[in-house]
Amino acid sequence: MRAKLPMLAECAALIGDIQVRNRGTIGGSLAHADPAADYPAAALALEAEMTLESSSGSRAVKAADFFLELLTTVVKPGEILTRASFAPLAAGTGAVYLKHRHPASGFATVGVAAVVTLKGANFDQVRVGITGLGAKAFRASGVERALAGKGRGRDRRSRLAGGIRRRRERRYLRVRRIPRRTRSRVHEPRARAGVRPRESTASLAT
């Protein structure tokens, strides 16, 4: 795993603590679909494929179709997730998992898995999976569209990061129903601090 798909191994190393990592399984994490779990974001960005088996047969489901809602997947009663397949990264593809940990549980306050293939100086394919920001992990398709086929300029990246940060701040303030006048003084700086990545991994396939 470390040789072929280091991002997944590094993502695993950021989960909870050593006891949680020793007892928890990839299948359990994906099937449980906790909205702050790490593997779902990685599975989405890496376009994993899940195999579901029951007494009446088996079926394959792409990660993009697997997570339905809060703690809910396409796994039906009587089915069990027996395999999650991850293709190795193509040459010229880099992958990273960035996570801001909850200080108590280690779950992701926000976790971002990014898989980027370069073509010369441009982004070719970009896949971004996000966890912790909604009822389920999701692909940041707007970010993917904004980057794919474009140059790697610092300006573009900062504009996108600014857009994501503003959306996260609006959500933070709305969810907590915070009055407007206390927002700018207390909560907006706190929301901004919350998106600063504390832990990161990076790997590049050659």
Residue 67: is it exposed, middle or buried by C-beta count within 10 angstroms (0-12/13-18/19+)? buried
Type of residue found at 129: G
Nearer to ligand FAD among residue 109 and residue 125 (C-beta): 109
Q: Does 31 bind ligand FAD (CB under 6 A)?
A: yes
Residues 6+ apart with CB under 8 A from 131: 35, 36, 37, 38, 40, 41, 108, 110, 111, 137
113 contributes a contact to ligand FAD by CB under 6 A: no
Span 53-112, contacts to ligand FAD by CB under 6 A = 75, 80-81, 105-107
Please tell me the distance from the alpha carbon of residue 11 to that of residue 98, in angstroms, as a whole number.
8
194 near ligand FAD, judged by CB under 6 A: no
Is the Cβ of residue 50 or residue 147 nearer to ligand FAD in the bound state? Answer: 50
C-alpha distance from residue 158 to each of 123, 191, 197 (Å): 15, 18, 15
In the complex, what is the shortest distance from the CB of residue 164 to ligand FAD, in angstroms, rounded to a whole number?
Answer: 21
Q: Assess 27 for contact with ligand FAD (CB under 6 A).
A: yes
Q: Which is nearer to ligand FAD, 39 or 138 (CB)?
A: 39
Distance of CA 164 to the CA centre of its chain: 14
In the complex, least distance from residue 43 CB atom to ligand FAD, rounded to whole angstroms = 11
Instruction: Give contact residues for ligand FAD (rule: CB under 6 A).
Output: 15-16, 20, 23-25, 27-29, 31-32, 37-39, 75, 80-81, 105-107
